[in-house]
């Protein structure tokens, strides 16, 4: 049978996909790597279908390897004799514990079939929560930035695992970035915070990310022509200056696209 790696979304149980929910409901046993993923999963399944895995809080690679081998020993027979699911917050293939399990299974239990069910990742959820539009023609880099780290280079970045928001903000601002933080976005547990003031986040919380952008990174978009210079809205194309309206009609700002976005 199959092991399903199921993405639960950012934490709000309503943000799991229908396919993910079905995979949970039909699995004989569901494994969860932590408390938050467990609380989302149990919105859809009975606690008695949860499987037990032990994940030590350690950076010791030897202990971690042993823990993953033990986890694979437990999961492999469950996924051979029936359907099993391993859930993660967000997407199972984005900075996720599922990768460790999968590699361990590939190495020691290669007969186990694995299927992924994507989830709404913080990589995309942040865009709605922080109201950041990643418009056509734009690019966005993904980094980790724990312990006050501040990777720089790309004009627009999303930074995961922020544990020292003030220090990360200080370094990014010195490098010319504007930074907005998001904590516990679309999560039911704990307080959701969206702020550009890192002192609001002085207390460490693992579920914190940052969006950093250099001024000038924003691309010109065709529909910008509908916004007047003072930030108000123009009502019709006749109100837009001739050069800009021509851009709209010719599709400028829709660079590299021959079909409209869905």
Edge to edge, what strands does the sheet with 2-7 contain?
A: 50-51, 29-31, 84-88, 2-7, 113-117
# chain residues binding ligand SAM, by CB under 6 A:
24
CB of 93 to ligand SAM, least distance (A): 8
CB of 92 to ligand SAM, least distance (A): 7
Measured CA distances, 167 to 118, 146, 162, 219, 236 (Å): 33, 10, 10, 29, 46
Residue 258 DSSP code: S
State which residue has the least CB distance to ligand SAM: 90
Q: Please say whether the beta carbons of 145 and 154 come within 8 A.
A: no
- Site membership for ligand SAM, residue 5 (CB under 6 A): no
Contact residue for ligand SAM among 32, 37, 88, 168 (CB under 6 A): 88
Output 86 or 160, the one with its CB closest to ligand SAM. 160
Nearest to 77 by CA among 102, 49, 107, 109: 109
Output 32 or 121, the one with its CB closest to ligand SAM. 121
Largest CA distance in the chain: 69
- Site membership for ligand SAM, residue 91 (CB under 6 A): yes
What sign does the CA torsion over 10, 12, 17, 19 have?
A: positive
Three-state SS for 169?
helix
User: In whole angstroms, what is the distance from residue 222 CA to residue 18 CA?
Assistant: 35
The region of 17-25, 108-116, 130-138, 183-191 touching ligand SAM under the rule CB under 6 A is 183-191
Contacts (CB under 6 A) with ligand SAM, residues 107-136? 121-122
Output 5 or 253, the one with its CB closest to ligand SAM. 5
- Site membership for ligand SAM, residue 86 (CB under 6 A): no
User: In whole angstroms, what is the distance from residue 105 CA to residue 114 CA?
Assistant: 9
Contact residue for ligand SAM among 31, 68, 160, 177 (CB under 6 A): 160
Question: For residue 84, which phi and psi values (nearest 5 degrees)?
Answer: -125, 155
CB of 258 to ligand SAM, least distance (A): 31
Output 147 or 228, the one with its CB closest to ligand SAM. 147
**Which tokens is 121 given?**
């990742």
- Site membership for ligand SAM, residue 247 (CB under 6 A): no
> Which residues lie near ligand SAM (CB under 6 A)?
10-11, 88-91, 94-96, 121-122, 160-162, 182-187, 206-209
């Amino acid at each position: 049978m199959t092991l399903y790696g199921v993405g639960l979304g950012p934490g709000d149980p309503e943000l799991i996909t229908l396919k993910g929910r079905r995979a949970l409901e039909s699995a004989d046993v569901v494994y969860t790597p932590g408390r938050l993923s467990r609380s989302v999963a149990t919105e859809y399944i009975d606690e008695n279908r949860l499987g037990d895995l032990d994940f030590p809080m350690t950076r010791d690679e030897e202990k971690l390897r042993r823990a993953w081998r033990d986890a694979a020993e437990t999961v492999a027979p469950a996924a051979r004799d029936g359907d099993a699911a391993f859930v993660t917050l967000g997407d199972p293939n984005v900075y996720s514990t599922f990768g460790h399990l999968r590699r361990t299974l590939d190495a020691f239990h290669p007969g186990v079939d694995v299927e992924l069910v994507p989830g709404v990742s913080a990589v995309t959820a942040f865009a709605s929560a922080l109201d950041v539009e990643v418009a056509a023609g734009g690019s966005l880099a993904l980094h980790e930035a724990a312990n006050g780290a501040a990777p720089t280079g790309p004009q627009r970045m999303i930074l995961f695992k922020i544990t020292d928001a003030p220090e990360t903000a200080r370094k990014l601002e010195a490098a010319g970035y504007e930074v907005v933080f998001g904590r516990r976005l679309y999560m039911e547990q704990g307080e959701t915070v969206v702020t550009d003031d890192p002192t609001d986040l002085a207390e460490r919380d693992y579920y914190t990310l940052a969006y950093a952008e250099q001024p000038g990174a924003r691309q010109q978009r065709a529909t910008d022509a509908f916004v007047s210079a003072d930030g108000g809205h123009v009502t019709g194309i006749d109100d837009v200056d001739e050069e800009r309206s021509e851009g709209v009609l010719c599709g400028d700002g829709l660079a590299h696209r021959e079909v409209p976005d869905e």
